[in-house]
Amino acid sequence: MKKSLAMRYLIILFILFNISTLKAQDSIIIDKITILKAPQLSVGIEQDILPYILKGYIVTAWIGRDFFRYRFSYAQANTPDFTHGEGIDKERVNAFGLSFEYFFKEKYRGLWFGPGIGYWSNYVTTDDGTKGTNQSVIFSLGGGYNYYLNRWLYISPWLALHTRVSGSDKVNIGSTIYTPALVTPEMSVKVGVKIF
């Protein structure tokens, strides 16, 4: 309950901290009357190859303006066997994320970087079949490069570091001790579509 409440507060703070980037910032003066221009928002969707390689899936959409965008994602994937601790047979991660990304070029082209927050649920099965769960609030820092193949289709190699803000304590699952990784590196390639 406390972890769920903490996650809600983190998301609200994150949105409030960055909301000004999506507001209309320009104005024009006609006969001493200031008229705010409507924000010229862009919307897109992306798919990442890594969750599919790890026998999962991902749903991602973004909204942005000028050099900035917000990206919302939900992914599910199995962690690779080599990352499992002793006595752990399987581990599946359900991850919700919200990222704020800054681009050095307009129209979401080229180099980008930014922070993100997330909420991960790790579903763990031990070698003897005992199941357990661990929830964590995650802070991420990532970057990549958007390369457009045409006006609307792009690929984006990227990398990120994720660190646990909560949920990093060891968890007893039956007779096995599950130790959540404090830092998780990740790299992959996204394929995206800029809808408008």
The token duo for 175 is 């007779």
Q: Is it the case that residue 17 has pLDDT exceeding 80?
A: no
DSSP assigned state of 15: H
The token duo for 143 is 């970057």
Q: Give how far Cα 25 sits from Cα of 19, 100, 106, Å.
A: 12, 18, 16
Rounded to two decimals, what is the model's pTM?
0.76
Q: Does a structural domain hold residue 32?
A: no
Q: Does a structural domain hold residue 34?
A: no
Classified as helix, coil or strand, 171 is strand
Contact between residue 109 and residue 153 where contact means Cβ atoms under 8 Å apart: no
Give the model's pLDDT for residue 31.
Answer: 44
Q: Is it the case that residue 196 has pLDDT exceeding 60?
A: yes
Q: What's the rounded Cα separation, in Å, for the pair 170 and 158?
A: 30
88: CATH: 2.40.160.20
Q: Is it the case that residue 64 has pLDDT exceeding 50?
A: yes
Q: Does a structural domain hold residue 76?
A: yes
Q: Does a structural domain hold residue 27?
A: no
Q: Does a structural domain hold residue 124?
A: yes
Q: What's the rounded Cα separation, in Å, for the pair 150 and 22?
A: 25
Structural domain boundaries, residue 80 = 2-20+42-194
Q: What's the rounded Cα separation, in Å, for the pair 99 and 74?
A: 12
Q: Does a structural domain hold residue 26?
A: no
**pLDDT tens for each residue of 97-146:** 999 999 999 889 999 999 999 999 999 999 998 999 999 999 999 999 99
Q: What's the rounded Cα separation, in Å, for the pair 122 and 79?
A: 9
Contact between residue 150 and residue 192 where contact means Cβ atoms under 8 Å apart: no
Structural domains in the chain (count)? 1
Q: What's the rounded Cα separation, in Å, for the pair 93 and 77?
A: 5
